[in-house]
């Protein structure tokens, strides 16, 4: 069997033609329109028929015609006031994640439409109809309780239909932890409903859950008000009551609410220097964590309560007590780094060295892997180049579009359509499909299936998509695909070629801007802001390569019309000048300048006054209160490392603190990065 050795995906090939046809685009637009009408519960038969006609002309979307037939059938049943089933009629046999979401909207519309069948003469003897009725009641209680109240108020209170609905409401409210609409209380049969609920035994879990959670949230809000008004003594008392109340009523308070509220409570106490009280709360939230992210966040906050005060002995006690070195591979990169850092600072440096190496080997592309290199004497410029830039032999074998089966190939074509129409959320759904797809189920070429095992085919599939994105200059999809694939352990990070992941585009425009900024820094920001899409536009109206708001751009360049911001030359100059101004304002501090670019200078000034406890940059990054901004700063620093490395500049040759600093050359008033 021919074995595949593929270490790099840096393969040049002829650009694949963009296979988007006008018929597919028209069909896609109709699908979006129908999906929107599902959400608004305003579906018109004439529009459905027109949509079906156009969708049948599309080779990509023709399977949606069957779904529209179901909706047409529902509309006709409504006109005749005849029974239809939502549970039986809508089968979730979806083609891909985009189709799955469409069917979900269709299902919700069906349940909304089903309410029109509810009348005094509703057939309660038909079991299928009852199943649909219960689903419809729950759907309305969750999404439109006011509409539901108006519907049942029209029913005859003496008829069986109303009595049945009345008996079901309280059961569904309690079982699913819903907050009833105030007007709904008049239609709740408390006595019979609660009796039935007690008989089922569910009261042991659901009893008073809403009431207890509301009381917990009330205490939490009182705590936040006290902290905001600087009533510290009162805030401490409330934090103790909050923790005590949660401890005593764990079964009756929603876990996600409890975890989030207590983590925020701990953070606010920590910022007021009440470390021990904060530690007690963080320790408790570990037991409340409900997934990988929350568990690691609780662990980090517990360790950070000691580390940010340079109390590494306490941090090491927590590490030992919770056996975190034993469970090291299962932890997040952030927790791993600070465990290794604590050992390096005041512990066993040989163990720390081993842990830093594990961090780098596990995910060499992460921010924490980069700064880990600084604590390993053996890691330098040559070692990094060997890890990231070494050219290796490339296997000639590769997949083509025709090697995939028809449904998978159709999804690839569909991605191009959504990309053309700028429905990025739908592109993202398809990317997840592509990453998760098992090659043995989507590859149809028999020779490939016999010559390669599943792991080798995964590599070939990965390589195919990298070439596909590169040939179409679709850097955003490429970045997302790589990131998701690594996070989901669907591909080894050793297969990633840095030059593909960190392309050097628009260097002509960066040089022409003549702002004196390091080109690598500008490239790093552009990659993060727009993924080199000069037509990018955010929800809030930021435009172009460096995602500038119009009013910001007008301070630095002439902007006659908003579309001017899509011009690379003008956008790069304005963005670079704005970044330069922020760097000057914050004395070259990269953390503060980038934080300001993302969240605004006013917020950063507030953080400097109330939150930041040190000028050590790796500590400051962790203290940024906004998750998005925290990640933003880390990713741009990571980008800067890799762009510098491609130009034979090793960022970490300097002291770590200096790599987060921009200096000003007073003779020519230009700024330059301290990297040699």
Q: For residue 394, give the 3-state DSSP assignment.
A: coil
Q: With contact defined as beta carbons under 8 Å apart, do 153 and 184 qualify?
A: no
pLDDT in tens, 140-196: 888 888 888 888 889 998 899 888 888 888 778 777 767 777 778 777 766 554 545
Is the pLDDT at 7 greater than 50, yes or no? no
Q: With contact defined as beta carbons under 8 Å apart, do 629 and 599 qualify?
A: yes
CA 439/CA 456 separation, integer angstroms: 9
Q: How far is CA 143 from the centre of its chain?
A: 24
Query: Who's near 200: CB < 8 A, 6+ residues apart?
Result: none
Query: Who's near 392: CB < 8 A, 6+ residues apart?
Result: 7, 8
CA 95/CA 257 separation, integer angstroms: 35
CA 37/CA 609 separation, integer angstroms: 48
DSSP summary character for residue 15? P
pLDDT reported for residue 90: 60
Q: What is the band of 391 on the pLDDT scale with cuts at 50, 70, 90?
A: low
Q: 559-572 burial string, b = 16+ CB within 10 Å, else e? A: beeeebbbbbbbbb
pLDDT in tens, 448-474: 999 998 888 988 998 899 889 988 888
Q: What is the band of 393 on the pLDDT scale with cuts at 50, 70, 90?
A: very low
pLDDT in tens, 65-113: 999 999 999 999 988 888 888 876 565 678 899 999 999 999 999 998 8
CA 318/CA 332 separation, integer angstroms: 16
Phi, psi of 96 (to 5 degrees): -155, 180
Is the pLDDT at 495 greater than 90, yes or no? no
Phi, psi of 670 (to 5 degrees): -100, 155
Cβ-defined contacts of 95-98 (< 8 Å, 24+) = 95/63, 95/407, 95/410, 95/411, 96/407, 96/411, 96/414, 96/429, 96/430, 96/433, 97/429, 97/430, 97/432, 97/433, 98/414, 98/418, 98/426, 98/429, 98/430
Is the pLDDT at 198 greater than 60, yes or no? no
Q: With contact defined as beta carbons under 8 Å apart, do 629 and 595 qualify?
A: yes
Q: What is the mean pLDDT of residues 289-316?
A: 97
- The count of C-alpha atoms lying within 13 angstroms of the C-alpha of 401, restricted to the half-sphere facing its C-beta, is 13
Q: For residue 149, give the 3-state DSSP assignment.
A: helix
Share the mean pLDDT of the chain.
Answer: 88
> Count H helices, E strands: the chain?
35, 2
According to DSSP, the residues that pair with 548 across neighbouring strands are 543
Q: Read out DSSP for 412-462?
A: HHHHHHHHHTT-HHHHHHHHHHHHH--HHHHB--HHHHHHS-HHHHHHHHH
pLDDT reported for residue 6: 35
Ranges in the chain annotated CATH 1.10.530.10: 507-673
Closest Cα to residue 534, out of 588, 595, 586, 575? Answer: 575
Judged on CB neighbours under 10 Å (0-12, 13-18, 19+), 389 is middle
CA 396/CA 389 separation, integer angstroms: 20
What Cα–Cα distance (Å) separates residue 525 from each residue in 518, 597, 656, 671? 11, 10, 20, 16
Cβ-defined contacts of 480-486 (< 8 Å, 24+) = 480/428, 480/431, 481/431, 481/434, 481/435, 484/431, 484/432, 484/435, 485/435, 486/363, 486/365
pLDDT reported for residue 459: 86
Residue length, the chain? 676
Q: What is the mean pLDDT of residues 473-485?
A: 86
Ranges in the chain annotated CATH 1.25.40.10: 214-342
Q: What is the band of 257 on the pLDDT scale with cuts at 50, 70, 90?
A: very high
pLDDT reported for residue 640: 97
CATH 1.10.530.10 corresponds to the domain 507-673: yes
According to DSSP, the residues that pair with 672 across neighbouring strands are 663
Query: Who's near 78: CB < 8 A, 6+ residues apart?
Result: 84, 113, 116, 117
Query: Which residues are designated catalytic?
Result: 529
Least confident of 43-47, 248-252, 293-297: 248-252
CA 377/CA 365 separation, integer angstroms: 19
pLDDT reported for residue 317: 97
CA 34/CA 334 separation, integer angstroms: 43
pLDDT in tens, 208-234: 677 788 899 999 999 999 999 999 999
pLDDT reported for residue 388: 82
CA 2/CA 323 separation, integer angstroms: 44
Q: Please tell me which residue, 453 or 576, carries the higher pLDDT value.
A: 576
Which CATH entry fits the domain spanning 214-342: 1.25.40.10, 1.10.150.120, 3.40.50.300, 3.40.1280.30? 1.25.40.10
Q: Read out DSSP for 313-371?
A: HHHHHHHHHTTTTTTGGGS-HHHHHHHHHHHHHHS-HHHHHHHHHHHHHH-TTSHHHHH
pLDDT reported for residue 202: 45
According to DSSP, the residues that pair with 670 across neighbouring strands are 665
pLDDT reported for residue 400: 92
CA 217/CA 546 separation, integer angstroms: 40
pLDDT reported for residue 210: 73
Q: With contact defined as beta carbons under 8 Å apart, do 368 and 334 qualify?
A: yes
DSSP summary character for residue 398? -
């Amino acid at each position: 069997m021919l074995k595949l050795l593929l270490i790099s995906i840096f393969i040049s090939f002829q650009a694949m033609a963009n296979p988007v046809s006008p018929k597919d685009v028209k069909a896609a637009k109709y699908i979006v329109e129908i999906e929107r009408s599902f959400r608004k519960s305003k579906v018109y038969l004439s529009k459905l028929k027109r949509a079906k006609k156009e969708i049948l002309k599309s080779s990509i979307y023709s399977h949606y015609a069957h779904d529209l037939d179901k909706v047409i059938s529902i509309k006709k049943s409504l006109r005749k006031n005849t029974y239809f089933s939502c549970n039986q009629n809508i089968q979730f046999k979806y083609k891909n994640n985009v189709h799955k979401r469409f069917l979900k909207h269709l299902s919700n519309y069906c349940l909304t439409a089903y309410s029109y069948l509810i009348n005094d003469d509703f057939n309660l003897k038909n079991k299928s109809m009852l199943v649909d009725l219960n689903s419809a009641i729950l759907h309305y209680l969750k999404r439109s309780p006011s509409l539901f109240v108006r519907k049942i108020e029209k029913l005859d209170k003496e008829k069986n239909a109303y009595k049945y609905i009345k008996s079901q409401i309280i059961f569904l409210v309690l079982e699913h932890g819903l907050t009833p609409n105030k007007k709904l209380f008049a239609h709740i049969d408390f006595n019979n409903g609660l009796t039935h609920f007690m008989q089922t035994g569910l009261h042991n879990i659901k009893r008073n859950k809403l009431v207890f959670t509301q009381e917990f949230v009330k205490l939490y809000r009182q705590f936040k008000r006290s902290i905001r008004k600087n009533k510290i003594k009162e805030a401490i008392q409330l934090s103790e009551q909050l923790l005590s109340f949660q401890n005593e009523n764990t079964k009756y308070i929603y876990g996600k609410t409890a975890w989030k509220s207590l983590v925020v409570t701990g953070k606010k106490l920590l910022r007021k220097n009440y470390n021990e009280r904060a530690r007690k709360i963080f320790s408790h939230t570990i037991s409340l964590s409900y997934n990988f992210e929350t568990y690691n966040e609780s662990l980090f906050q517990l360790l950070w309560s000691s580390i940010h005060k340079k109390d590494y002995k306490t941090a090491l006690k927590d590490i030992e007590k919770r056996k975190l070195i034993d469970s090291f591979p299962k932890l997040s990169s952030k927790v791993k780094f600070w465990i290794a850092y604590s050992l390096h600072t005041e512990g066993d440096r040989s163990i720390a060295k081993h842990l830093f190496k594990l961090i780098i080997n596990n995910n060499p592309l992460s921010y924490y892997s980069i700064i880990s290199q600084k604590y390993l004497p053996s890691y330098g410029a040559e070692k990094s180049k060997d890890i990231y830039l070494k050219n290796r032999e490339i296997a000639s074998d590769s997949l083509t579009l025709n090697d995939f089966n028809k449904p998978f190939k159709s999804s690839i074509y569909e991605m191009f359509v959504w990309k053309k129409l700028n429905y990025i959320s739908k592109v993202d759904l398809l990317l997840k499909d592509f990453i998760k797809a098992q090659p043995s189920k989507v590859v149809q070429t028999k020779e490939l299936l016999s010559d390669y095992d599943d792991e080798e085919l995964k590599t070939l599939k990965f390589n195919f998509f990298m070439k596909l994105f590169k040939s179409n200059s679709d850097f955003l999809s490429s970045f997302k695909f790589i990131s998701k694939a690594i996070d989901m352990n669907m591909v080894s990070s050793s297969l990633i070629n840095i030059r593909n992941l960190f392309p050097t585009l628009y260097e002509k425009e960066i040089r022409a801007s003549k702002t004196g900024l390091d080109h690598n820094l500008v490239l790093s920001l552009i990659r993060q802001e727009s993924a080199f899409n000069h037509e990018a536009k955010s929800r809030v109206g930021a435009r172009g390569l460096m995602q500038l708001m119009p009013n910001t751009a007008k301070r630095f360049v002439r902007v006659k019309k908003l579309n001017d911001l899509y011009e690379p030359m003008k956008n790069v100059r304005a963005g670079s000048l704005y970044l330069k101004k922020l760097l000057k304002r914050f004395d070259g501090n990269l953390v503060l300048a980038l934080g300001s670019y993302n969240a605004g200078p006013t917020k950063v000034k507030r953080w400097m006054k109330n939150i930041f406890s040190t000028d050590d940059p790796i500590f400051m990054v962790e203290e940024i209160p906004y998750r998005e901004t925290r990640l933003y700063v880390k990713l741009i620093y990571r980008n800067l490392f890799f762009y510098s490395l491609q130009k034979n500049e090793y960022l970490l040759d300097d002291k770590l603190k200096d790599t987060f600093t921009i200096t000003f050359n007073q003779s020519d008033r230009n700024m330059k990065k301290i990297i040699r």
